[in-house]
């Protein structure tokens, strides 16, 4: 029942919104992973980011595809939790750790071991529309623990214009999705973060975006 | 609602259109067979996109009048969305842009109702006055004039201009009994797109003297004039089938579509050059975005409409 709802949600409803109301300009789609385990890393400006990334993959991968999301935001009420866990299919993790907690990335490690595809937004929150914040280090820890799992960076533009944080009206815009080459594990976390940053900047520089201020 | 029936003239013309596509595809296949090492991806994609465009167009135009009107509303939506995605906009105007999109269903509702008076003033008067008012309520004055002007130009071109194609469909059938409004739409759209291709081909074959190098360096006088002659000849041939125009008027219509199509094309080119883009998008492989395809129509549609409306309706 839930998996059917999830199929309906992503396969019909979200695809209609993403492809007709919005419209995507995808570059290098062939670089996306075709099977799990895999990590997709993207910048984050809108709730639509997840929806767009989910719609880039064939529906056959849907059962294995999960956005990693914050417990404190997405698991607030009972009904909302059911929706985010079962329909959106998030993998909840804790944003803040207190003493004595287990490794907050343990659910991700488990999911990757099970061959799942994870969507990660290392900025940690959506922030100001169309401005990229610096990436947080958890992604490097994840890559370190799974050096053979491909980490594919994706740059998104325009979704922060269509539905920014704090807005409820969706305004249609064509959005850009630039997929980068997977980034192999470099051996240490600092150089890995630097390279990931660099790759995101290069992807962003592929576009010629109009002013928005 | 106006009763809708597809006349044999329209069907035969559509058949002719498919014949042209078959010839084009065969020609490309021959080119690839003669010189297989050359990369012709763009040409192949372009013709494939033409097949898709013509198939959707046929389907829509023979289904029903309302479906066809809704289809042109959707074209306006895609065009306005593409325009607003490539031009600079203000964050403060998000809600204003939402209102701008709402003008599309309203404008096409007037078309479906065949309410000419409202169709002709809704955007130039009401939307023109309403959107700046909405911007003032938000209160951001920085770049106000630029934002207001930019938005109105987009709505006039992409919504008001394109909706003229749809209004041809609801003009009284009796004036053009042999092909109806569908015939007029087919005449306008086919000649406009044919003129684009003809100008391109003539320019490729004979092009020497640049016509407007600062805006569009590939456009030549030879292409422009060659397109004009072929389009006008085709206009004379088709007018008898599809429109109420005798051949003398058809010459004027052919010249009008050819010249206006050229101006529409270079106007959108100027816009893209200003922004620093080659293509306006990637919706139609081989063509670019939707604006790259309907650029000429933004001029030919309103001009041809008022030409024929003044003379016959």
Q: How far is CA A42 from the centre of its chain?
A: 5
- Band of residue B93 on the pLDDT scale cut at 50, 70, 90: very high
The reply to whether residue A25 touches residue B282, judged by beta carbons under 8 angstroms, is yes
Mean pLDDT on A187-209: 90
Q: What is the pLDDT of residue B5?
A: 65
- Band of residue A92 on the pLDDT scale cut at 50, 70, 90: confident
As for the ipTM of the complex, it is 0.90
Q: Across the interface, which of A158, A164, A171 has its CB nearest the CB of B97? A: A171
- Band of residue B210 on the pLDDT scale cut at 50, 70, 90: very high
Alpha-carbon distance of A81 to A44, in angstroms, equals 21
Cβ atoms within 10 Å, residue B200: 17
Mean pLDDT over the full length of chain B: 92
A22: closest CA of chain B, how far (Å): 8
Helix (H) or strand (E) segment spanning residue B29:
helix B8-34
**Set of chain B residues whose Cβ sits within 8 Å of the Cβ of A128:** none
Alpha-carbon distance of B260 to B300, in angstroms, equals 5
Residue with tokens 């684009």: B196
A25: closest CA of chain B, how far (Å): 6
Q: Across the interface, which of B78, B85, B90 has its CB nearest the CB of A173? A: B85
DSSP letter (8 states) at residue A91? E
pLDDT at B81 over 60: yes
Among A48, A156, A172, A176, pick the best mutation site for testing chain B contact (most B Cβ within 10 A).
A172
Query: Can you give the pTM of this predicted structure?
Result: 0.93
Mean pLDDT on B98-102: 97
Among B91, B281, B291, pick the best mutation site for testing chain A contact (most A Cβ within 10 A).
B91
Residue with tokens 């406009």: B192
DSSP letter (8 states) at residue A134? P
Kindly report, residue by residue over B14-39, the tens digit of the pLDDT: 999 999 999 999 999 998 888 888 88
**Set of chain B residues whose Cβ sits within 8 Å of the Cβ of A48:** none
Kindly report, residue by residue over B248-280, the tens digit of the pLDDT: 999 999 999 999 999 999 999 999 999 888 888
The reply to whether residue B101 touches residue A171, judged by beta carbons under 8 angstroms, is yes
Mean pLDDT on B132-139: 94
- Band of residue B2 on the pLDDT scale cut at 50, 70, 90: very low
Kindly report, residue by residue over A18-72, the tens digit of the pLDDT: 999 999 999 999 999 998 899 999 999 999 999 999 999 999 999 999 999 888 8
Axis-axis angle for helices B41-63, B8-34 (nearest 10): 170
Residue with tokens 């270079």: B266
The reply to whether residue B91 touches residue A210, judged by beta carbons under 8 angstroms, is no
Mean pLDDT on B84-112: 95
Among B85, B103, B282, pick the best mutation site for testing chain A contact (most A Cβ within 10 A).
B85
**Set of chain A residues whose Cβ sits within 8 Å of the Cβ of B276:** 208
Which residues pair with residue A27 across a beta bridge? A178
- Band of residue A73 on the pLDDT scale cut at 50, 70, 90: confident
Q: What is the pLDDT of residue B4?
A: 52
The reply to whether residue A212 touches residue B91, judged by beta carbons under 8 angstroms, is yes
Backbone angles phi, psi at B223, to 5 degrees: -65, -45
Distances (CA, A) of B166 to A16, A105, B15, B79, B159: 25, 56, 22, 15, 11
């Amino acid at each position: 029942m839930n998996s059917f709802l999830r199929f309906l949600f992503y396969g019909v409803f979200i695809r209609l919104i993403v492809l007709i109301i919005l419209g995507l300009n995808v570059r290098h789609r062939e670089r996306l992973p075709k099977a799990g385990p895999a990590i997709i890393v993207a910048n984050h400006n809108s709730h639509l980011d997840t929806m767009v990334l989910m719609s880039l993959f064939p529906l056959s991968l849907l059962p294995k595809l999960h956005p990693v999301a914050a417990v404190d935001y997405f698991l607030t009420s009972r009904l909302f939790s059911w929706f985010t866990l079962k329909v959106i299919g998030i993998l909840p993790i804790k944003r803040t750790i207190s003493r004595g907690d287990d490794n907050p990335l343990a659910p991700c490690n488990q999911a990757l071991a099970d061959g799942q595809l994870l969507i990660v937004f290392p900025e940690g929150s959506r922030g100001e529309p169309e401005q990229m914040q610096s990436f947080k280090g958890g992604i490097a820890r994840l890559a370190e623990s799974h050096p053979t799992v491909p980490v594919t960076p994706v740059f998104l533009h325009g979704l922060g214009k269509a539905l920014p944080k704090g807005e409820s009206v969706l305004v249609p815009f064509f959005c850009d999705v630039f997929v980068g080459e997977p980034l192999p594990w470099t051996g240490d976390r600092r150089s890995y973060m630097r390279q990931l940053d660099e790759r995101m900047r290069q992807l962003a520089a592929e576009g010629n975006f109009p002013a928005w201020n | 609602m106006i009763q809708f029936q597809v006349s044999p003239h329209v069907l035969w013309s559509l058949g002719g259109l498919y014949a042209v596509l078959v010839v084009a595809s065969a020609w490309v296949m021959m080119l690839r067979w003669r010189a297989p090492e050359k990369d012709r991806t763009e040409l192949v994609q372009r013709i494939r996109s033409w097949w898709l465009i013509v198939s959707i167009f046929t389907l829509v135009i023979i289904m029903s009048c309302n479906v066809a009107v809704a289809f042109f509303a959707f074209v306006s939506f895609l065009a306005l969305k593409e325009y607003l995605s490539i031009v600079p906009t203000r964050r403060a105007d998000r809600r204003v842009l939402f209102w701008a999109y709402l003008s599309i269903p309203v404008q096409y509702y007037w078309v479906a109702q065949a309410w000419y008076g409202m169709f002709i003033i809704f955007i130039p008067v009401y939307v023109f006055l309403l959107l700046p008012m909405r911007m003032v309520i938000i209160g951001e004055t920085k770049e106000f004039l630029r934002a207001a002007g930019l938005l109105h130009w987009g709505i006039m071109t992409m919504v008001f201009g394109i909706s003229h194609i749809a209004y041809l469909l609801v003009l009284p059938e009796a004036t053009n009994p042999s092909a109806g409004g569908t015939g007029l739409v087919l005449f306008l759209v086919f000649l406009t797109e044919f003129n684009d291709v003809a100008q391109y081909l003539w320019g490729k074959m004979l092009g020497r003297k640049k016509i407007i190098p600062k805006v569009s360096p590939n456009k030549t006088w030879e292409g422009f004039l060659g397109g004009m002659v072929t389009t006008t000849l085709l206009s004379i041939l088709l007018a008898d089938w599809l429109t109420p125009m005798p051949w003398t008027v058809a010459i004027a219509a052919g010249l009008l579509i050819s010249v206006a199509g050229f101006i529409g094309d270079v106007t959108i080119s100027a816009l893209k050059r200003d922004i620093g883009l080659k293509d306006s998008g990637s919706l139609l492989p081989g063509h670019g975005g939707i604006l790259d395809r309907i650029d000429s129509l933004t001029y030919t549609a309103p001009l041809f409409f008022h030409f024929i409306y003044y003379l016959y309706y």
